[in-house]
Structure 1
Amino acid sequence: METIVTVIHVIAALGVVGLVLLQHGKGADMGAAFGSGASGSLFGVSGSSNFMSRATAVCVAIFFVTSMSLAYLTSHRSEQGSVVQKSVVKSAPVSNTPKADEPASAKDVPQ
């Protein structure tokens, strides 16, 4: 479940970034009036701004919902504890030095 929400979250984030970068600013309309051709787009003069702003709003809403869902899912996991404590417990210290009661082997003696 958490993996599906994470994938949707990443897709929504990329959608927000892409849609924001595709939109033109408020000052771009003045350049279009002098023949730059930006107003003759696929969606018409004002159609693209309405479509882009609505699509951006939908992606932002999905991003917000998935953010809250991931926060809820993470806080209600069955396993408790710190990530640092889990890594310390899993990794036991490894010692390459021989103990005092063990005799030195041939590989321990420098040549």
Structure 2
Amino acid sequence: MSTFYNLVVVVQVLSALIIIALVLLQHGKGADMGAAFGSGASGSLFGASGSSNFMSKSTGVAAAIFFASTLALAYFGSDRQTAVSGGVMERAAPVTGPAAIPSTTSAPAAPVDPSLPTAAAPAATVPAAPAATTDAVPAAPAPTPAAPATEVPK
């Protein structure tokens, strides 16, 4: 299985490189548009050779191979046993330490011994009100709610 998986990966990479090369070698349809409207001897909208040539057909074949190899890699990459057994979360290792979330199905917590000292909360270091300064600019009075709004002069 590993050998076939590696072979599919090689086929996918090669088909991707071939698609890149073929797309870069082709000239766009916009180059033929100028010829169709008077600056060339072309008789049709897509040029004299028609709408499909060897390069565009090769690009389509390489794209089909690329998509088929992508589907094969997705098939081989999926672990079908986990889909039957319930999924990834059932196989996950339990988290321990401070990041662990308490479970509702776990055993009840041990009773707290009241004779043990409890940790006191640290004292607040932020003052309740800012200190008054002598060089502070006084605040503007708040407008009264009954006063109508005035337009600002320009």
Alignment match of 2:12 (pick from 1, 9, 12): 9
Distance in 2, matches of 1:55 and 1:6, equals 20
- 3-state DSSP of counterpart to 1:53: helix
Unmatched tracts of structure 2, length 5 or more? 43-47, 83-87, 93-154
Between Structure 1 and Structure 2, the one with more helix by share is 1
Query: Where does residue 32 of structure 2 map in the other structure?
Result: 29
Paired letter, 2:24: L
Indicate yes or no: 2:55 matched with 1:46.
no
- Is the radius of gyration larger for structure 1 or structure 2? 2
The number of residue pairs the alignment matches comes to: 76
Q: Percent identity?
A: 56
User: TM-score with structure 1 length normalisation?
Assistant: 0.53
Query: Where does residue 91 of structure 1 map in the other structure?
Result: none
1:55-93 deviations in whole A, cap 9, x for unaligned? 0000000000000000000104779x7xxx8xxxxxxxx
Distance in 2, matches of 1:17 and 1:78, equals 36
Distance in 1, matches of 2:6 and 2:81, equals 16
Distance in 2, matches of 1:7 and 1:77, equals 23
Provide the aligned C-alpha RMSD in A: 3.4
- Which aligned segments of 4 or more residues in structure 1 are displaced greater than 2 angstroms? 29-35, 76-79
